[in-house]
């Protein structure tokens, strides 16, 4: 099939590359010429395991094209995926300007039947706005909708950064919303054909109306965010009552009604999805005169949780951190990505610098992106920027530090040489924001350990 993908961010690039891998002819459009140049020169502008190989293989096979040519992109695809960003607006709502701009471009250039797929995470009712934008452009061209028919479909993504290729190629579910008009039934047939390779062993596609499909994406992310904040709030209580949140996690996760996924306590969630999707769903509810009290609490707990490591540092070393030096392992919001959006590391770094400390930071993948983001976070604060050192390795970051803070659970951090670690730190203190280590093991190694909800043993 001929497919057009509008937008080559995480969702668009993974979707386009993986659909090409299945034998489709895919045209990827982006307005950013620099990004298109990188892709056409064999690079990939984001870090996503396995993606570079898939892109290279399908570019070489001629199934994957990158361009800024809007007219060519509309002419190419019988199915047009809109996979552009929907960043949060000032009021927390999803900013649909890029989605609607893509829709208008389709309307300006289409000449025959098109299936328009909302792949971006969008609020309930967006499909109607996309349809109206396309219809308006057709009207301005003097073209009746019957002469250039189209149908808008909702097909939300459920990709985890760091495992997006695997998630796309082996989905646990495919959600597609369509209407029951003649055009909608044609869209149904096209989408069924497109996703047929995923349904050979068993049916993975859930068909529903468009609004329900749009709602499903937000509901899924809101539930996962809720589980994280729930465990973080319990972890903070566990620290006070002397319980071990890891033991509690195993105890409740063994209940099949609960399960183990997304029950890990830590220093808060970040990234491009959970924070903005929770806010957008809250805003949608307010637009309809309803308050989502649970989600408001989820967001507040997460915002507070990002300060937990900083509070633990202050409790141990005092309010004034002048003359103190700290190491931070992990900058990306999660492992296997270089994404720094809403990353907990940014909160901790700001708190340490504001209190006068110097900091050495290291991340296996996100160093380039971290330099860019940190420069923005401390724009105009040259003295503060001068107190941040980007290290060459985890052990390099430890040299002369008063303590280590772990913010991202990279596998490379799970089994360090603790003797070497101790020799490089001025004081053997670890603040573990992801509970990578066992308190008893740390105590036996002579390391003072501060986890999240693991206060049973904190000193070696």
Tokens of 36: 């298109």
pLDDT range class, residue 253, cuts 50, 70, 90: very high
Question: Are residues 421 and 320 part of one domain?
Answer: yes
What pLDDT was estimated at residue 170?
A: 94
pLDDT range class, residue 91, cuts 50, 70, 90: confident
- The vertex-36 CA angle with 30 and 38, nearest 5°, equals 150
pLDDT range class, residue 145, cuts 50, 70, 90: low
* pLDDT for 459 beyond 70: no
Torsion over CA: 330, 334, 338, 341 (sign): negative
What pLDDT was estimated at residue 88?
A: 80
Q: What is the mean pLDDT of residues 14-29?
A: 97
Q: What is the mean pLDDT of residues 40-67?
A: 95
Distance CA 314, CA 424 (A): 21
Q: Identify the residue with better confidence: 88 or 393.
A: 393
What pLDDT was estimated at residue 456?
A: 61
Q: What is the pLDDT of residues 352-388, one digit of tens each?
A: 999 999 999 999 999 999 999 999 999 999 999 999 9
Question: Are residues 17 and 166 part of one domain?
Answer: yes
What pLDDT was estimated at residue 307?
A: 98
pLDDT range class, residue 460, cuts 50, 70, 90: very low
What pLDDT was estimated at residue 458?
A: 47
Quick count: other Cβ atoms within 10 Å of Cβ 35? 21
Question: Are residues 190 and 331 part of one domain?
Answer: no
Identify whether 460 is part of a domain.
no
Identify whether 348 is part of a domain.
yes
What pLDDT was estimated at residue 248?
A: 96
Tokens of 330: 């992990």
Question: Are residues 156 and 116 part of one domain?
Answer: yes
Q: Which domain holds residue 390?
A: 306-450
Q: What is the mean pLDDT of the chain?
A: 94
- The vertex-174 CA angle with 216 and 52, nearest 5°, equals 110
Question: Are residues 73 and 191 part of one domain?
Answer: yes
Question: Are residues 180 and 47 part of one domain?
Answer: yes
Q: What is the pLDDT of residues 325-358, one digit of tens each?
A: 999 999 999 999 999 999 999 999 999 999 999 9
| Active site (catalytic) residues | 273
From residue 168, alpha-carbon distances to 19, 156, 190, 193 in Å are 9, 12, 18, 16
Distance CA 191, CA 3 (A): 11
Domain boundary residue among 275, 304, 333?
Answer: 304
Identify whether 213 is part of a domain.
no
b or e along 40-49 (b: 16 or more beta carbons within 10 Å of the residue's beta carbon)? eeeebebbbb
Distance CA 330, CA 337 (A): 11
- pTM of the predicted structure, to 2 decimals: 0.91
Identify whether 12 is part of a domain.
yes
CATH of the domain at 242: 3.40.50.720
Question: Are residues 290 and 195 part of one domain?
Answer: no
Question: Are residues 292 and 197 part of one domain?
Answer: no
What pLDDT was estimated at residue 92?
A: 74
- Count of structural domains, the chain: 3
Percent of the chain whose predicted confidence (pLDDT) is above 90: 93
DSSP per-residue letters across 291-321: --HHHHHHHHHHHHHTTHHHHHHHHHH-S--
- The vertex-132 CA angle with 127 and 138, nearest 5°, equals 130
Find, among 370, 299, 361, the residue nearest to 337 by Cα.
370
DSSP per-residue letters across 133-167: HHHHHHHHTT--GGGS-EEEEE----PPTTSHHHH
In this structure, are residues 222 and 278 in contact, taking their beta carbons and an 8 Å threshold?
A: yes
91-95, 193-197, 413-417: segment of lowest average pLDDT: 91-95
Question: Are residues 289 and 374 part of one domain?
Answer: no
């Amino acid at each position: 099939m001929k497919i057009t993908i509008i937008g080559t961010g995480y969702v668009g690039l993974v979707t386009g590359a993986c659909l090409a891998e299945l034998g489709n002819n895919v045209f990827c459009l982006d307005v950013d010429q620099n990004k298109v140049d990188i892709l056409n020169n064999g690079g990939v502008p984001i870090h996503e395991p396995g993606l570079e190989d898939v892109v290279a293989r399908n570019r070489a096979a001629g199934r994957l094209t990158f361009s800024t040519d809007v007219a060519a992109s509309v002419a190419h695809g019988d199915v047009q995926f809109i996979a552009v960003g929907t960043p949060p607006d000032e009021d927390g709502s999803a900013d649909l300007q890029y989605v609607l701009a893509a829709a208008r471009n389709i309307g300006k250039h289409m000449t025959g039947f098109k299936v328009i797929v909302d792949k971006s995470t969008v609020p309930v009712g967006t499909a109607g706005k996309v349809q109206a934008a396309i219809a308006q452009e057709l009207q301005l061209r003097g073209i009746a909708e019957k002469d250039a028919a189209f149908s808008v479909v909702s097909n939300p993504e459920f990709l985890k950064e760091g495992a997006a290729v695997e998630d796309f190629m082996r989905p646990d579910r495919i959600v597609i919303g369509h209407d029951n008009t003649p055009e909608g039934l044609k869209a149904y047939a096209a989408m069924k054909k497109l996703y047929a390779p995923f349904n050979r062993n068993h049916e993975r596609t859930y068909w529903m109306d468009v609004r329900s499909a749009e709602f499903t994406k937000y509901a899924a992310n809101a539930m996962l965010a809720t589980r994280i904040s729930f465990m973080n709030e319990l972890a903070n209580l566990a620290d006070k009552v002397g319980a071990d949140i890891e033991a509690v996690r195993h105890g409740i996760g063994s209940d099949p009604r609960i399960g183990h996924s997304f029950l890990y306590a830590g220093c808060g969630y970040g990234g491009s999805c959970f924070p903005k999707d929770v806010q957008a769903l809250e805003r949608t509810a307010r637009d309809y005169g309803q308050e989502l009290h649970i989600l408001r609490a989820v967001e507040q707990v997460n915002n507070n949780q990002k300060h937990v490591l900083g509070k633990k540092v202050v409790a141990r070393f005092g309010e004034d951190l002048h003359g103190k030096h700290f190491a931070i392992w992990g900058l990306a919001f999660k492992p296997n990505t270089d994404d720094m959006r809403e990353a907990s590391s940014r909160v901790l770094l700001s708190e340490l610098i504001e209190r006068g400390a110097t900091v050495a930071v290291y991340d296996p993948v996100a160093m380039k992106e971290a330099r860019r983001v940190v420069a923005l976070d401390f724009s105009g604060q040259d003295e503060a920027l001068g107190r941040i050192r980007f290290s060459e390795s985890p052990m390099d970051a430890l040299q002369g530090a008063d303590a280590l803070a772990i913010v991202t659970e990279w596998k490379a951090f799970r089994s360090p040489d603790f003797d070497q670690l101790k020799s490089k730190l001025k004081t053997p203190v670890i603040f573990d924001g992801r509970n990578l280590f066992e308190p008893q093991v740390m105590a036996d190694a002579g390391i003072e350990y501060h986890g999240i909800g693991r206060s049973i043993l904190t000193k070696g």
